[in-house]
Structure 1
């Protein structure tokens, strides 16, 4: 075997005495999905690495999550100075593989933007179903979230980040009575619960996942100048501290691939191969609706040219409806220490086409590190007979890059200028804030107009009162009075009469206040 590729497929391994014929994964069945399973420390990571190498060499882009930080070495060449060089050469000689060290075109991604280019999506693209799963919402809370998304669409409010979603939920809460009549009950308590879960997500670093520029799938499906497929590695060691966020992100990515890629039928090779490490996290405590969605995507996405490969410890971690669609399988050792382990081992063996030369159950239990029981689809998509296989050594470095080496790969990537700097354009939060500011301004202006109107009305009444008062002062009696006290009394009577009349005419508080201020001295002189 001269390289990682045969005429038709990816070379996986072979065997010496007691092992089967050389094993390869046919490229034309690479989109029929697969499974890599086995206990911790049995060689799953190496198998994942050599499959990524093989697909890349065939011009097929790859996306995989690096859960333990071990896969970054694919960006560097293996070395004859490495301590595993001698065992690798011995293994290569045994299986007839010509080991030639080399590096592969690699792009690093990181949701937190620390070990790779930031990978983001918008709240709108995530959608209420996956977001409800991410937040762990109840049915009632999910219903309120659906209403918020629907109203945002109706009003043209873009939901880009968590701040937009918070603002939208407040908007829905303020209009709860109005909205409930049209869309059903909007419980303020449900909105409060969603807001609390958003705070938890933010504390876990989830706010960095939502925003712009959002990831474009075309930047994952690329080849280099030599025609080799780009290997996309998501740094997931820190992300694993939030397993629900990790699983939801990968499921979102699958959904986006399913929705955006065109139908290609049965291509000669996949357009993209997607490796889902720690696959059990996707299904742990997942509601049936979500599992059904994953099964639907797995069943239909192969016609888009995408192959999905689940990596997990035990095949029973994957629901039967999805497991039945995984045609290419690499089973590393399973340890049967308990009755439950023995049952799982038996079920795993039953998933393979039996080989009369050995007992599959015993083989799964006995294979060593770097060995596996394999079965790949053959001509016409028929499952191949199970074989014991020595997995070939990787051509790239086995083990992680150093931080300076990783930083250099990131700096050399042409995607940095596109994704490394976040963008915050006008969206729901800003639009709703402007609406609230405009409404407050209009309310203030209306209040001022009302006060001005009342003041003008009060002054009109006051002017009329002054006219009457002046007319009363100009009144002079025709008869002369003989006593000074009589004239004074009559004058006081006129003033008092006018005051009472004027008080009756002034119907507003503003007018009365003005009277008390202007005419008070006249009344006090009595």
Structure 2
């Protein structure tokens, strides 16, 4: 995918297939060629049968679904740098979109996201995260499904109204914390979270497909999603965690099962709590043994947590700019993280690299970082630049998952169960007002002939029953009081 300088003897460079799952990174300032390097890696992996996933932040990567073309300018560059002419051809591509506009919808359920990732997405403090954990536990104990945002909001409302009865088992659930979580959910909903949470949930097996021996390139349309950086970063972390959970241990393979590209990686580490950074480190460290490679793309290695950076074996470093003493110190630091080359002053070369040129260090046959080389990034065989709207539409219509995720499903879950209980409560109140007989009402609602029969109640039903019983007694007592006043009024009138 890369080529050393022609004047020094042109030598092709590439990542050995058996070491693709040792992870990697692409760094460089804006406009230095990171996107083409990303496209080259993804194309190389796809052509050997490895499916990949990447986020298309600028909309440039959709062209991988079409064949590239030779131009005079490209021909001149290839000849000048001694780069072989690529095989121009399209690649199998599947488009995805959290908002369901420029790709197939991607959904997750609230339960599957879990309280830890959701708390990070909502930017909750420790107290609010504790309340969210309690609500998840309550829903799990009562076997209530949390699938979409309305399920979670219903659970929060129920827990707040019945906090006194839940306190002994689940701790304090303050109205202030519930209110803060609800407001955060409203912000998330306004950013499109209502479209992301629900069913059918993405099956990660649909990302790991091949067509005619080529790995499918899964491209997430992220030009709109990137405007919600927290949703973007937590979504990608959730997806990576899902892949990790779904795949079995497989040890070392001739080539990986899947490669995950994390573009704009600084957004993940800028917004992550310490707990989530530990989770990222754990997933990156362990997912290698499941045949998955993870590649981070950002402007500088300083954007990545050190614990994660140390696990990235394959590196492509494009030019950096250093206009201040702080920037110059950062460049020196970057040069020190790569394996030295006696022929190159790495910090100085990083400042001199041209567009499409990079310092490259891939793992050698022994699995150790190779000596850093100055190289030109090759030219992809697929198109550089976006597809037209009609071309994208055609790709989506012929996709392997066309029609699978387009129609949302809203089955019975927490919202419907709690709504049903509330309607039963209202019906019981209406019945109580009509009866005016406490014993008859209680027999109907709670006795052996009532709708509850001799059923053993769970905590949710006990709380609901207590609310109904209290309201019933109020109604009956009020009715008896009216009757007594009427009787005494009649007796006084007779006198």
TM-score above 0.5: yes
Of 260, 263, 288, the residue aligned with 1:302 is 288
* Secondary structure of the corresponding residue to residue 420 of structure 1: coil
Identify the residue that residue 386 of structure 2 maps to in structure 1.
400
Q: CA deviation at 1:416?
A: 2.3
Identify the residue that residue 430 of structure 1 maps to in structure 2.
416
1:109 corresponds to 2:96 = yes
* Secondary structure of the corresponding residue to residue 380 of structure 1: coil
For 2:359 and 2:99, locate their aligned partners in 1 and report how far apart those are by CA, in whole Å. Answer: 37
TM-score (norm 2): 0.88
> Are 2:88 and 2:382, in contact at CA under 8 Å, matched by a contact in 1?
yes
For 1:194 and 1:362, locate their aligned partners in 2 and report how far apart those are by CA, in whole Å. Answer: 50
Identify the residue that residue 161 of structure 2 maps to in structure 1.
174
> Are 2:259 and 2:295, in contact at CA under 8 Å, matched by a contact in 1?
yes
**Deviation readout 1:457-477 (Å, 9 max, x if unpaired):** xxxxxxxxxxxxxxxxxxxxx
> Are 2:138 and 2:170, in contact at CA under 8 Å, matched by a contact in 1?
no
Of 202, 213, 237, the residue aligned with 2:200 is 213
Identify the residue that residue 6 of structure 1 maps to in structure 2.
none
1:349 corresponds to 2:335 = yes
178-187 vs 311-320, which deviates more? Answer: 178-187
For 2:204 and 2:490, locate their aligned partners in 1 and report how far apart those are by CA, in whole Å. Answer: 76
**Deviation readout 1:49-90 (Å, 9 max, x if unpaired):** 01111000000001000000000000011123xxxx223323
Structure 2 CA distance for partners of 1:346 and 1:453, relative to 1, 3 Å: closer
> Are 1:37 and 1:332, in contact at CA under 8 Å, matched by a contact in 2?
yes
Identify the residue that residue 118 of structure 2 maps to in structure 1.
131
Q: CA deviation at 1:257?
A: 1.0
**Deviation readout 1:231-286 (Å, 9 max, x if unpaired):** 00000000111000000000001111111111111111111111100000000042
> Are 1:91 and 1:392, in contact at CA under 8 Å, matched by a contact in 2?
no
Structure 2 CA distance for partners of 1:509 and 1:376, relative to 1, 3 Å: closer
> Are 2:10 and 2:82, in contact at CA under 8 Å, matched by a contact in 1?
no
> Are 2:54 and 2:262, in contact at CA under 8 Å, matched by a contact in 1?
yes
CA RMSD of aligned residues (A): 2.0
Of 217, 224, 229, the residue aligned with 1:231 is 217
Structure 2 CA distance for partners of 1:159 and 1:452, relative to 1, 3 Å: closer
Identify the residue that residue 136 of structure 2 maps to in structure 1.
149
For 1:230 and 1:453, locate their aligned partners in 2 and report how far apart those are by CA, in whole Å. Answer: 68
Q: CA deviation at 1:100?
A: 2.1
> Are 1:75 and 1:396, in contact at CA under 8 Å, matched by a contact in 2?
yes
Identify the residue that residue 39 of structure 1 maps to in structure 2.
29
Q: How many residues align?
A: 455
For 1:511 and 1:321, locate their aligned partners in 2 and report how far apart those are by CA, in whole Å. Answer: 77
1:513 corresponds to 2:486 = yes
For 1:124 and 1:278, locate their aligned partners in 2 and report how far apart those are by CA, in whole Å. Answer: 27
For 2:292 and 2:11, locate their aligned partners in 1 and report how far apart those are by CA, in whole Å. Answer: 28
For 1:259 and 1:453, locate their aligned partners in 2 and report how far apart those are by CA, in whole Å. Answer: 55
Of 397, 401, 405, the residue aligned with 1:419 is 405
* Secondary structure of the corresponding residue to residue 381 of structure 1: coil
1:120 corresponds to 2:110 = no
443-452 vs 319-328, which deviates more? Answer: 443-452
Structure 2 CA distance for partners of 1:19 and 1:399, relative to 1, 3 Å: farther
Q: CA deviation at 1:517?
A: 7.0
1:51 corresponds to 2:37 = no
1:72 corresponds to 2:59 = no
* Secondary structure of the corresponding residue to residue 261 of structure 2: strand
1:289 corresponds to 2:275 = yes
Of 176, 186, 189, the residue aligned with 1:202 is 189
Structure 2 CA distance for partners of 1:519 and 1:312, relative to 1, 3 Å: closer
Of 364, 370, 383, the residue aligned with 2:356 is 370
Identify the residue that residue 488 of structure 1 maps to in structure 2.
none
Structure 2 CA distance for partners of 1:512 and 1:99, relative to 1, 3 Å: closer
For 2:482 and 2:263, locate their aligned partners in 1 and report how far apart those are by CA, in whole Å. Answer: 77
For 2:482 and 2:88, locate their aligned partners in 1 and report how far apart those are by CA, in whole Å. Answer: 94
**Deviation readout 1:159-199 (Å, 9 max, x if unpaired):** 11100000010111122112211222111100000000000
Unaligned ranges ≥5, structure 1? 1-10, 455-506
Unaligned ranges ≥5, structure 2? 441-479
For 1:420 and 1:113, locate their aligned partners in 2 and report how far apart those are by CA, in whole Å. Answer: 8
* Secondary structure of the corresponding residue to residue 295 of structure 2: strand
Identify the residue that residue 270 of structure 1 maps to in structure 2.
256
* Secondary structure of the corresponding residue to residue 352 of structure 1: coil
* Secondary structure of the corresponding residue to residue 378 of structure 1: coil
Structure 2 CA distance for partners of 1:517 and 1:184, relative to 1, 3 Å: closer
TM-score (norm 1): 0.83
For 1:329 and 1:39, locate their aligned partners in 2 and report how far apart those are by CA, in whole Å. Answer: 15
Of 88, 100, 105, the residue aligned with 2:87 is 100
* Secondary structure of the corresponding residue to residue 232 of structure 1: strand
Structure 2 CA distance for partners of 1:121 and 1:508, relative to 1, 3 Å: closer
> Are 2:69 and 2:383, in contact at CA under 8 Å, matched by a contact in 1?
yes
> Are 2:3 and 2:10, in contact at CA under 8 Å, matched by a contact in 1?
no
